[in-house]
Structure formats: C-alpha cells, structure tokens
Structure 1
Amino acid sequence: MNIIRLSCLALLMVVFAMACKPNTSDVMVETIDTAYIRQLPNMADTIIPMMPDTGTRLLGVVRGETIVLGNGQKSMQLWYDVQGQIVLMTERQLGKLVDSVAFYPNGQRIFKLNFNDKGKADGSAKYFYSDGRVREDGRFVNGIKTGVWRSFDEAGMLKETHEYTSLGEKLK
C-alpha cells in the first residue's frame, strides 16, 4: 500500500513539475537529412547549374543547382559553399516559392520560413541558434511580422515578447 502511495506521490510531483515549466524555447529543430538532399540529383528529371548572385555570395555560396522533379511540378535549388556543404535550399512547386531553409555549417537550420504565392514570407517562422534551439519565433502575414513574436536566449529561456499589428507595427 505504501508503494502505491509513493508511486502516486512521485507521479503527482512529475506532473506538477511539468505544469510549472518556465517559458523556454522547448522546440528543438530537427536535424536536416543532408544525405537525402544529396540524393536529389540522382532523382532529378533535369539538373541546371547556377551561379550565385551578390546576395547568395554573401552567405558563402560558390555554386548552385536547380533540381527539377516530377516533370517540372517541383524544383529544389541547392546552394553550396566552397567545401561542398549545403548553405541554402529553396523549394518551388509549379514555379512558386513555397519554402526556404538556410543552414549553419553543422547542418542545423538557421531559419525556417514559408512563403505565399506572391513569394512573401507567410505563416509560422522560426530562427534558430546553431545548436538547434529556437532564437525567435512568430508569424508573418504577406511578408509582415504579425501577432506575438518571442525571443529566447541561448539557454532557451524567454527573453522578450513583442506583439505586432496586422500592419507590422510593434505594440508597446
């Protein structure tokens, strides 16, 4: 009987500790399967080499390629640094930008953004530290920060919260 009481007490303590959890960056970014990404050229209908523009060169990009899949239904642009590591990946469906991901040298994501059919950030957005912890998260609507945005320190603790209007104006 005492064992049952102790077990129930221990379970209640665990539940209480979880309920009292502080605001932390509890979302860890998943590691990107770069082995899968590196196999994309083998699955491609067409591969088109690309040269970086000024903006992508600033990220350390030295070359790129467009991987066309599914008879042109989908394409992936992969941008590589001098060591051959993937620095940036974008995905298009039917020619429209739908996703963009940039990578730290260790393979973790720098950011994760979704895009609308006009090519503007739209939907949930996350920016990460190099260990995968969330640095900032919030939502874009048609390229404008909207709603509540949270910033976290490197330990994952909430630093600050800001709220934005639908026009992108920060509320006090």
Structure 2
Amino acid sequence: MKKRFYNPELNSYDVYEEVWISERVNVKDEKGLLVKNHYWKDSSGELWADFDNPMENVYESFKAYRKKKSFLTPNQIKGIRNDLNLSVREFANILGISSSTLTKIENNHRIQTKYQDQLFKLVALNKNNLNNLVSTNNDDAINNINSSVKENKYFIKDSFYNEDKSSYEIYGINRDIGVIA
C-alpha cells in the first residue's frame, strides 16, 4: 500500500510505501525477540515509524516480551481491576505499587516486572474472594490476602509458603497452576 504523508522532520509531503519487516529486538532481559515491525518507506528508501502511531513497534516489542514471559496483557490487567470495580488508585494501593506505575502498565507504556505480574495473577485467581478481603488499609488487605492464599500455596509480596510453612523463597512457585516465578 502507498500513502501520502506529511513528514514533520523533513517539512514536506511525500508518498510512502508500507512495509513490514521481521526484526530481532531486545526488551529488558530478553535478547533477540522476533517482532514484525511496521514502517513507511520514503522514495529514497529510508524507513519511518508510522506517522499516526509512532509507538506501534515498541508496543509490538512489549507484546512479544509478555508472550515470551507468559505475562498478562495490559487489557487482562485492566479487566481484573474492572471486575473488582476498583479505581486505578484503589487497585494499586491494594497491590502495594504506585498508581502511576499501574496506569503505565495498563496503558502499555511500561512492562510489569515478574513480581508485579505475579501479584496480578494472584488477584485474578482469587478475585471472587478478593471483594471480601479488600479493605481501605493496604496492610490489612495484604494480610487478608496472605492468610487467604497461603494454604493454597500462592505467594504474596516476596514469600512462598509450603504446607508446613518451612520454606520461604523470593518470588516462589505456584505449583497449583504451574506458574514458575
């Protein structure tokens, strides 16, 4: 497809040809993720990011990273929060993260950490019970969630509980659903 665009960097109009190129990208700790990037090629052969959506290729890289790590998508995270009828601020307070971080994750401007992704998954697994666990005090909410889930071998914060409470590891493993932290 060809399309005429105004290029503000060149201060001129030109006809650009749409091209898709499979490229290897590095995102955080993952090297060489294969992503199909979208460009517009000008008459001299130079590639330009989409003029209407300049972050498109970055978002595709984030998507590839989340898929590789089996992380939740921004829409899934937002869906969990909406299912609980919580505002961004309320949900962030319960999770112990800043509301600006949660907003950036939900808007796909930032990739969640492994720890944050595990918190989101924990809440998703327990969202039917979470309405009874949530309080206005963040420490109370975390303690309620902790006591609710430790018998199920789920983690909260940075602990892993086994049946006899003798093992504690940073992050941990949820054996019941097979998520390796």
TM bracket, shorter-chain basis: under 0.3
Higher relative contact order (CA 8 A, sep 6+): 1
Report the TM-score, using the length of structure 1 for normalisation. Answer: 0.26
Report the TM-score, using the length of structure 2 for normalisation. Answer: 0.25
Structure with the higher helix share, 1 or 2: 2
Structure with the higher strand share, 1 or 2: 1
